[in-house]
């Protein structure tokens, strides 16, 4: 009987060991190379509120520019989904980057992309605001892995330890600084329509909610447009938005943009 008990004990031990081997936790999927969620060259300060359940950071501008209305950019490529929560996050977007990784962007004043669309790193997804439970304009930003908040890393570098108030730590963005082609310009105005071609009869493929950093691939002459006291027939083809806008809304004094090829 003693030998039988020994055999049974040994078999049970082997089964336990085999189970541990088979069900060992899979290694974490490597995180995307996350960028700051605001435009190239801008300097923002950030802080963490101890009441936050996840490891979120709040960002506000610290370079003399206004926080409200500043473009919010995708910090890595993925599929964007719109959400709304009146008593909390307000207008917000979640980007699913694959492999279990997601980023959250809360309190948007407006959305700049549709729900369920693919966005690239540096593409504008909204404008900074204070919707929902918020006391002032800021970007509430989170990085999650399998639904669990992670210490935020930008360009692979951790932003921990988190400061408890603003103006203790700062971060200058290199998001949207180029590398994908095109010449960078800021737009101005709000509700600027993006069309599939340089004609007023061309279908609208998107809208720029407010001032936006865009990359112009080329420009061409199309329909004459009169708006905001200006008249122009040159149109810019935008790289990330995959459409044309009239050069009237490009923040440059020239009707035909310098250094930009003709389409």
In a domain, 24, yes or no: no
Mean pLDDT for 124-150 is: 96
Query: Contact 232/248 with Cβ under 8 angstroms?
Result: yes
Partners of 84 in the beta sheet?
91
156 with 123, same domain: the answer is: yes
By the 10 Å C-beta count (0-12 exposed, 13-18 middle, 19+ buried), 245 is classed as buried
Say yes or no: 158 and 189 in one domain. no
End position of a domain, from candidates 149, 172, 195 = 172
Asked whether 248 and 225 are in contact (CB, 8 A), the reply is yes
Confidence band, pLDDT 50/70/90 cuts, at residue 239? confident
* pLDDT tens for each residue of 33-87: 999 999 877 899 999 988 777 899 999 999 888 999 999 999 998 999 999 999 8
Confidence of residue 28 (pLDDT cuts 50, 70, 90): low
Residue 22: what pLDDT?
Answer: 34
pLDDT for res 20 = 40
> What CATH number is given to the structural domain containing 193?
2.30.30
Q: What is the pLDDT of residue 179?
A: 58
The pLDDT confidence band at residue 26, using thresholds 50, 70 and 90, is very low
1 in a domain, yes or no?
no
User: What is the DSSP code string of 84-137?
Assistant: EETTTTEEEEEEEEETTEEEEEEEEEEE-S-TTEEE-TT-EEEEEB--SS-SS-
Same domain, 161 and 215: no
In a domain, 243, yes or no: yes
């Amino acid at each position: 009987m003693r030998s039988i008990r020994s055999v049974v004990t040994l078999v049970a031990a082997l089964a336990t060991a085999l189970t541990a081997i088979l069900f060992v936790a899979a290694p974490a999927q490597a995180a995307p190379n996350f960028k700051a969620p605001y435009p190239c060259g801008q300097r923002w300060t950030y802080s963490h509120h101890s009441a936050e359940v996840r490891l979120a950071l709040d960002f506000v501008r610290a370079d003399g520019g206004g926080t409200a209305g500043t473009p919010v950019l995708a910090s890595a490529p993925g599929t964007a989904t719109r959400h709304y929560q009146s008593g909390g996050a307000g207008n917000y977007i979640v980007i699913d980057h694959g492999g279990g990784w997601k980023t959250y962007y809360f309190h948007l004043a407006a959305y700049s992309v549709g729900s369920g669309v693919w966005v690239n790193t540096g593409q504008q997804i909204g404008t900074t605001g204070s919707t929902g439970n918020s006391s002032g304009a800021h970007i509430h930003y989170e990085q999650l892995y399998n639904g669990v908040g992670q210490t935020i890393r930008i360009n692979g570098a951790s932003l921990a330890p988190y400061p408890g108030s603003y103006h203790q730590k700062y971060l200058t963005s290199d998001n949207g600084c180029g590398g994908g082609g095109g010449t960078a310009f800021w737009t101005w105005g709000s509700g600027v329509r993006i069309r599939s071609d340089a004609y007023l009869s061309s279908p609208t493929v998107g809208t720029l909610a407010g001032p936006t950093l865009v990359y112009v691939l080329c420009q061409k002459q199309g329909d004459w447009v009169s708006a905001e006291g200006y008249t122009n027939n040159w149109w810019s083809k935008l790289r990330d938005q995959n459409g044309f806008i009239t050069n009237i809304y490009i923040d440059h004094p020239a009707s035909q943009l310098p250094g930009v090829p003709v389409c």
